[in-house]
Amino acid sequence: MLLIMGFAAQLTLWPDELVEALVDRGFRVIRYDNRDIGLSHKFDGIKAPGLIKMTLLSKIGLTPKVPYTLADMADDGAGLLDALGIDKAHIVGASMGGMIAQHFASRHAGKCLSLTSVFSTTGNPKLPPARPEAMKALITRPASTDEEILVEHGMMLARTIGSPGYPAEEVRLRERTRAGVRRSFYPEGPTRHLSAIVADGDRRKMLKDIAVPTLVLHGEDDPLVPCEGGRDTAACIPGAKLKTIPGWGHDLPLELVDDIADAIAAHARASVD
């Protein structure tokens, strides 16, 4: 089972508890850093167009030139499986990772046993946008590179986009945030991640051709990618199943680990029966 994390997020945002729960349910679980984040290759010196320019170009139907695309990032995942000698896997993507996973299922269907798209979306421009406070927290850079400032900034972001029904415990959140800062701090990568998302545009046409068994998981109280994005994803992929959870936001709270693991595992097993 290949786990693909989202925008500006290291592989460590997949909680160890969720990974262990999936292992306990019989899966070999692989998580990795996307390009330009964590300990993966960095595209130093390659500039992405500004957000305003990209948005304007997209609105008039032009595709902005970007350093790389979500399709390229899906190819990274397929290449990782090849490098590990794995012919096929269950693909699970969260947020931007869900978008990448959608491309994976489209481009590498022969390698994809099943697809699970977690709090992701279709790129449909008519869907409700993120709440202003969530988007502001996501794209605002920390005031400095001092470790304590970075930790406080990361905690602010986690609190802003997290689950209102399952707020993270303070000590654990601080420890995880600090560990992430110490593992890697690379603010240039997210700019290129964002450009790949904006340039990708509307994926609905692509999604209608996906023939891989698909499960869509989404929180009903997600402030960053509203639940309508999950519903639209499930509506576009033929035969897709949708599971929504009240109180769940844009994170992976410990209280939901078993529910999420059960849903993913049951879907994965059913896809190969």
Q: What is the pLDDT of residues 109-131, one digit of tens each?
A: 999 999 999 999 999 999 999 99
Mean pLDDT of the region 152-177: 97
Cα separations in angstroms, 22 against 5, 97, 236, 257, 258: 16, 18, 27, 9, 9
Q: How many domains is the chain partitioned into structurally?
A: 1
**Whole-number pLDDT of residue 245:** 98
Q: What integer pLDDT is reported at residue 52 of this predicted model?
A: 74
State the pairing for strand pair 214-219/89-94.
unpaired
What pLDDT does 55 receive? 72
CATH of the domain at 203: 3.40.50.1820
Rounded to an integer, the average pLDDT of 217-245 is: 98
Whether the full predicted model's pTM is greater than 0.85, yes or no, is yes
CA–CA separation, 225 vs 211, rounded Å?
A: 24
Q: Which domain holds residue 208?
A: 2-272
Whether residue 273 has pLDDT greater than 90: no
42's tokens: 């960095």
Residues 6+ apart with CB under 8 A from 219: 119, 163, 227, 244, 245, 247, 248, 249, 250
Q: How far apart are CA 34 and CA 49, in angstroms?
A: 20
Confidence of residue 62 (pLDDT cuts 50, 70, 90): confident
pLDDT over 90 (residue 189): yes
Q: In this structure, are residues 189 and 48 in contact, taking their beta carbons and an 8 Å threshold?
A: no
Q: In 10 A of CB 174, how many CB atoms?
A: 16
Q: Give the pLDDT score at 64.
A: 79
